[in-house]
Amino acid sequence: MDHTTIDQTTTAGPLAGTTVLDLTQHLSGPFASMILGDLGARVIKVEPPAGDPTRRIGPYFEDGDSAYYLSANRNKESVVLNLKAPGGREALLALAAKADVVVENFRPGTLAKLGIDLDDLLTANPRIVLCSITGFGSDGPYRLLPAFDIVVQALSGGMSLTGEADGKSVRSGLPIGDVAAGMYGAVGALAGLIQVGRTGTGTRVDVSMLDTQVSLLSYVASYYLASGDVAGRQGRGHMSIPTYRAFTCGDGRDIVVAANTEPFWRGLAAAFGRAELVDDPRFLDNDARRAHRAELDAILEGVAADSTAEALLARLAEEGVPSAPINTIDAALADPQVVGHDMVVTLQGRGDGIRAVGNPIRFPGGRTEFAAPPRLGDATERVLRDVAGYDDERLAELVGNGAAVIG
């Protein structure tokens, strides 16, 4: 089996030359550091001897690691350190001294139990950006509680908006609690780097998964703050735009239509073969259509039920109305627009390569080759030599003490 690795020290991209010390596991933290790696940073993932727990999450595995782990850990190097063993803590601080960013997503106080206080990292490197992603932040009554994606979706109110209007609230099919926090974490780390460049002084960035989910309430929260009205489950439509919704066609396929302006509404009416609706007093403008939503829904749903998805989408396209099929995952990843933008990539360095979703951020001169997620400890020796400056004697001592494991 191919054990080739891609050199992470000479990658292209706007963050080339930036070193990120990745103390993360599960999804939110690894997603943040993966973004930084995709943008050219050298990402050193420090793992305990057992590895990131997600390496073992089923049901799907490829080349020895879970598909879950493989989804969020490309473009990284794995270093195995046991912080409880003699020399492990010192090795981590030696790496922090040479890093630009540290990303961690432990519950507050967890690192301290391992002998690493966050202040120790800033002492080791006064110019470092320390990005902490937690469930509930570094303070507040929930700070020490465990948090997972479904928990913050529920607490934030976002889950109460998801599901059929007359049904039960459901979790978003995408892990937005984790990945959105990871995105905010990456943004915070980048802002921290700019601040360090301006002031020469390191900084802390604190990102809460719950805060992130509350921020995503966006205009729905503003509607409540302005009116006191509490939005409910949105179902297949939109709370304020009746013609921004999904339809089931006669062939059983589902489509969406985004007729959120008056020109698009006129186009929708024409595409549905009901141009006379434009002059119907019940539907003259969006306020009227909202007041008579049930009547409009019945008319449009009847037309959709008598049409195939292909035919209805073609008519909508002719009228210039934004619309699309509701793709399954296989259809989405095969969509010509997605394929044309290289959003399915092959990660090099493990076996025949591992297929994964690409990065949507593009820069001229950015990296064109993505490295597969590392095997456990595959870079321990290289990184401790090149970054921490350890020689043969110190490496042998670490390995002998069980403080480091060479993969």
Task: Give me the active site residues, please.
Answer: 178
Point out which residues pair with 102 in neighbouring strands: 21, 130
